[in-house]
Structures are given as C-alpha cells and as structure tokens.
Amino acid sequence: MADSIGGKNILDLPVEIRMVIYDYLLTEEKPVEIDVIHRRKKCDELIRHGRQNKRDWKHRFKKWSRAKIQFVTIPPINTAILFVNKQIHAEAVQSLYGNNCFSFLGTTGLKQAVELLGDHA
C-alpha cells in the first residue's frame, strides 16, 4: 500500500539534498559547550553544558544568560537522525562534527571527547 501512494524514504533523495537536511538538523549557530558529569558507580559522561543541573533541579536543562539576567532553556541538538541506520549516521555525523564549534569547560571534557572520537577527532 505504501508503494501505491508513492512511499519514499530519505535514502531515495540525492545525497546533496540529504546533506542539506543534516546541516539544518545538526548545525548550531553558537558554540556547543561540553561539560563532564562525574558519576560514582558509572563512567563519567560528556553532556551539553547546562543540560543537567544536579545541584539545582529547578533549573535543569537551563543555563544562566548574562544578557537576559535569567535562566534560559538550552534547545537540544536534533541527533535522533543519527540513529536511523548506519548509512545515515555516516553521512550525518559529518555535519554534526564538521559544522559545529565545541567549547569544553575544562581539560577533562576535552580529553574524554578525544578518547571517545579516537581517530575521527
């Protein structure tokens, strides 16, 4: 039935169009600030700064804005497309890491990111 109504998927589009879609979904205007959460029983976790405020649950997923003098919500990067399949991941990850500027709030986060990315860093 899907074929009779013209069912298409993203892989039917030319790669150039897919890259425009990935750029739209995965590119941020400002640097992405990365922080480390130290876990006691688990491995440390790299997160987007402000996404999880352990000390102040009222301001979870928020970051202090000096310009607005208040906490503002940090919009997530739309990374769900990376998990669709291996081909889309291989294409889209280039937009995520190639088009964004990452800012680390300490050398620990930078070290862990380099270890995580390995040869791709």
Domains of the chain: total = 1
- Of 99, 24, 21, the closest CA to residue 12 belongs to 21
Compute CA 64 distance to the chain's CA centroid, rounded to the nearest angstrom. Answer: 20
- Per 3-state DSSP, the chain is made up of helix, strand and coil in percentages (nearest 5) of 40, 15, 40
Instruction: Tell me the per-residue pLDDT of 63-77, one tens digit each, with 9 for 90 and over.
Output: 666 777 776 666 677
Instruction: Tell me the per-residue pLDDT of 23-62, one tens digit each, with 9 for 90 and over.
Output: 999 998 888 877 666 666 666 555 555 544 455 555 556 6
Residue 52, domain extent:
33-120
Query: Residue 16: inside a domain, yes or no?
Result: no
Compute CA 101 distance to the chain's CA centroid, rounded to the nearest angstrom. Answer: 11
Query: Residue 47: inside a domain, yes or no?
Result: yes
Query: How many other CB atoms sit within 10 Å of the CB of residue 104?
Result: 20
Integer Cα distance of 110 and 14 in angstroms: 35
pTM above 0.85, yes or no: no
Query: Residue 27: inside a domain, yes or no?
Result: no
